[in-house]
Protein backbone atom coordinates (compact mmCIF):
# COMPACT_ATOMS: atom_id res chain seq x y z
CA UNK A 1 0.00 0.00 0.00
CA UNK A 2 2.50 2.62 -1.24
CA UNK A 3 0.30 5.75 -1.49
CA UNK A 4 2.50 8.62 -2.69
CA UNK A 5 6.09 7.71 -3.55
CA UNK A 6 8.83 10.29 -4.05
CA UNK A 7 12.28 9.70 -5.49
CA UNK A 8 15.00 10.36 -4.64
CA UNK A 9 14.83 10.80 -0.87
CA UNK A 10 18.04 12.85 -0.74
CA UNK A 11 20.05 14.74 -3.32
CA UNK A 12 22.96 17.15 -3.31
CA UNK A 13 23.45 19.40 -6.32
CA UNK A 14 25.85 22.09 -7.35
CA UNK A 15 24.59 25.51 -8.33
CA UNK A 16 23.51 25.51 -11.96
CA UNK A 17 22.87 21.77 -12.21
CA UNK A 18 19.47 20.46 -13.25
CA UNK A 19 17.37 17.88 -11.47
CA UNK A 20 13.98 16.21 -11.76
CA UNK A 21 12.09 15.11 -8.67
CA UNK A 22 9.71 12.25 -9.28
CA UNK A 23 6.35 11.61 -7.68
CA UNK A 24 3.94 8.75 -8.27
CA UNK A 25 0.67 7.84 -6.58
CA UNK A 26 -1.23 4.56 -6.75
CA UNK A 27 -4.58 5.78 -5.39
CA UNK A 28 -6.09 6.74 -8.75
CA UNK A 29 -6.15 10.37 -7.66
CA UNK A 30 -6.86 13.10 -10.18
CA UNK A 31 -5.13 16.04 -8.49
CA UNK A 32 -1.47 16.29 -7.54
CA UNK A 33 0.63 18.98 -5.85
CA UNK A 34 4.23 19.99 -5.21
CA UNK A 35 5.17 21.86 -2.01
CA UNK A 36 8.40 23.02 -0.49
CA UNK A 37 9.08 23.30 3.22
CA UNK A 38 11.83 25.50 4.57
CA UNK A 39 13.00 25.68 8.22
CA UNK A 40 10.49 27.52 10.37
CA UNK A 41 8.06 27.74 7.49
CA UNK A 42 4.92 25.93 6.57
CA UNK A 43 4.46 24.12 3.31
CA UNK A 44 4.23 26.42 0.32
CA UNK A 45 2.61 25.38 -2.93
CA UNK A 46 4.91 25.41 -5.96
CA UNK A 47 2.73 23.91 -8.71
CA UNK A 48 -0.32 21.74 -8.91
CA UNK A 49 -2.18 19.65 -11.43
CA UNK A 50 -5.92 19.58 -10.87
CA UNK A 51 -6.33 16.83 -13.45
CA UNK A 52 -4.30 14.92 -16.01
CA UNK A 53 -3.20 17.29 -18.76
CA UNK A 54 -3.39 20.48 -16.68
CA UNK A 55 -0.85 22.27 -14.54
CA UNK A 56 -0.99 25.60 -12.71
CA UNK A 57 1.32 27.80 -10.69
CA UNK A 58 1.07 27.98 -6.94
CA UNK A 59 2.52 30.49 -4.51
CA UNK A 60 6.24 30.01 -5.30
CA UNK A 61 6.66 28.73 -8.90
CA UNK A 62 9.75 30.67 -9.96
CA UNK A 63 12.70 28.46 -10.92
CA UNK A 64 10.58 25.33 -11.34
CA UNK A 65 8.76 23.48 -14.08
CA UNK A 66 6.39 20.53 -13.80
CA UNK A 67 5.11 17.74 -15.99
CA UNK A 68 1.99 15.67 -15.40
CA UNK A 69 3.26 12.63 -17.23
CA UNK A 70 0.07 10.60 -16.77
CA UNK A 71 -2.55 10.20 -14.09
CA UNK A 72 -0.09 8.55 -11.69
CA UNK A 73 3.02 10.69 -12.11
CA UNK A 74 3.81 14.37 -11.52
CA UNK A 75 7.43 15.51 -11.78
CA UNK A 76 9.13 18.70 -10.64
CA UNK A 77 12.16 20.02 -12.51
CA UNK A 78 14.82 22.48 -11.48
CA UNK A 79 16.49 23.65 -14.69
CA UNK A 80 19.33 25.59 -13.05
CA UNK A 81 19.48 24.93 -9.33
CA UNK A 82 20.18 27.81 -6.94
CA UNK A 83 21.09 27.69 -3.22
CA UNK A 84 17.73 29.33 -2.43
CA UNK A 85 16.07 26.14 -3.68
CA UNK A 86 17.63 24.10 -0.86
CA UNK A 87 14.55 22.70 0.82
CA UNK A 88 12.46 19.63 1.51
CA UNK A 89 10.03 18.96 -1.31
CA UNK A 90 6.72 17.18 -0.75
CA UNK A 91 4.36 15.76 -3.30
CA UNK A 92 0.69 15.29 -2.45
CA UNK A 93 -2.39 13.92 -4.14
CA UNK A 94 -6.16 13.92 -3.70
CA UNK A 95 -9.06 12.22 -5.47
CA UNK A 96 -10.19 15.57 -6.85
CA UNK A 97 -9.38 19.14 -5.90
CA UNK A 98 -11.89 19.74 -3.13
CA UNK A 99 -12.22 20.28 0.58
CA UNK A 100 -10.70 16.93 1.45
CA UNK A 101 -7.34 15.95 2.95
CA UNK A 102 -4.39 15.62 0.64
CA UNK A 103 -2.12 12.59 0.96
CA UNK A 104 1.59 13.34 1.18
CA UNK A 105 4.76 11.50 0.25
CA UNK A 106 7.74 11.36 2.59
CA UNK A 107 9.62 14.14 0.83
CA UNK A 108 12.85 14.74 -1.05
CA UNK A 109 15.56 16.56 0.87
CA UNK A 110 17.48 18.68 -1.64
CA UNK A 111 20.69 20.57 -0.88
CA UNK A 112 22.23 22.94 -3.41
CA UNK A 113 25.80 24.01 -2.84
Closer CB to other proteins, 69 or 97, in the complex: 97
In whole angstroms, how close is the CB of 16 to other proteins at the nearest point?
28
Closer CB to other proteins, 9 or 77, in the complex: 9
Residues near other proteins (CB under 8 A) are: 4, 33, 40-45, 48, 50, 56, 58, 90, 92, 97-99, 101-107
In whole angstroms, how close is the CB of 41 to other proteins at the nearest point?
6
In whole angstroms, how close is the CB of 79 to other proteins at the nearest point?
23
Find all residues with CB under 8 Å of 76, minimum gap 6, and list them.
Answer: 20, 21, 23, 34, 46, 47, 64, 65, 66, 89, 91
11 near 109, Cβ under 8 Å? yes
Closer CB to other proteins, 5 or 67, in the complex: 5
In whole angstroms, how close is the CB of 106 to other proteins at the nearest point?
5
Closer CB to other proteins, 72 or 103, in the complex: 103
Find all residues with CB under 8 Å of 31, minimum gap 6, and list them.
Answer: 48, 49, 50, 51, 93, 94, 95, 96, 97
8 near 107, Cβ under 8 Å? no
Amino acid sequence: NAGVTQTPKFQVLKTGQSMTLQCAQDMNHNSMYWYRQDPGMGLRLIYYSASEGTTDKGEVPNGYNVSRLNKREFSLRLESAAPSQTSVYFCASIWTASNQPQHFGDGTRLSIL
